[in-house]
Amino acid sequence: MRGKRVLILVAALLFAFYSNASDCIRLSKDEIYQEADGVFLADVYEVSDTEFRIRVLEVYKGSYPDTLTGIIDQNVIIPDRGSTWLFYSMDYEEGVFIADACSGSKSFTFPHGAHDIAYLVPPPPEILRSPAQMFVLEQVLKDKALNEMYFEISSLRQKKLEGYLKDLESNNSSLEDQLEQINRNHRILLWLSGLVLVLLVFVIVGRFGKER
């Protein structure tokens, strides 16, 4: 009896996700990153009927406070309290965001994103009738999706680091330009100072000659 309940639950999850994900326009990882206002890893610590609260762990795009509120509507996969999510979010208002089923958001508990390579499809009917095969299938799909999620997070960290290094390089280039301008101004000032000194010498010599 317990095996049947597990079978029904797993099948329901697979079909529910496939139903939502199949309505989404498939995008590349770079495209969903560009589409999102913010990308961050976060723990869900409170869930109600209309919203949930998260504690931000890492930010890969955008600038956010330590805690945020997510909106729940008919297009949002409701997160479980205590779960950890990778969110691709759209800003709703300050401190509030929305991440719908097509955003590419996913959790370590259910790591299947709408734009993943390890994309869920409905299992064959013969597997649906076998709890053991359904369990194995679920584990295989979850392992593939988790590996893809770990790689995705690593790629986002690298992208953020590359952006930081690019900004640092740009700042260094700007500082070098400022130093070069300072050096040019310094050389001009020295040249003018020398010119004034020469003129002063001529003036003094001229006056001295007239006095004699």
Show the domains of the chain with their CATH numbers: 2-159 (2.40.50)
106 pLDDT above the threshold of 70: yes
Which tokens in the block code for residue 102?
Answer: 């097509």
Task: With residue 198 as reference, give the H or E element that holds it.
Answer: helix 131-211
The reported pTM is 0.67
More confident: 46 or 139: 46
Which tokens in the block code for residue 33?
Answer: 């990153």
Q: pLDDT band for position 181 (50/70/90)?
A: confident
Contact 60, 104 (CB under 8 A): no
Q: pLDDT band for position 9 (50/70/90)?
A: very low
Give the pLDDT mean for 32-45: 96
Strands of the chain, DSSP E: 38-47, 51-61, 67-71, 84-93, 96-98, 106-107
Q: pLDDT band for position 126 (50/70/90)?
A: low
Burial of 171 (0-12, 13-18, 19+ CB in 10 A): exposed
Give the pLDDT mean for 166-176: 72
pLDDT at 195: 74
Give the pLDDT mean for 9-36: 68
Give the pLDDT mean for 48-60: 96
Q: Which of 87, 97, 93, 102 is nearest to 43 (CA)?
A: 87
Give the pLDDT mean for 35-41: 96
Give the pLDDT mean for 138-154: 90
Tens digits of residue pLDDT in 88-97:
999 999 999 9
54 pLDDT above the threshold of 90: yes
Give the pLDDT mean for 168-197: 73
Name every residue whose Cβ is closer than 8 Å to that of residue 4 and which is 6 or more positions away in sequence. Answer: 131
pLDDT at 184: 78
pLDDT at 148: 92
Q: pLDDT band for position 194 (50/70/90)?
A: confident
> In this structure, what are the phi and psi dihedrals at residue 178, rounded to the nearest 5 degrees?
-65, -40
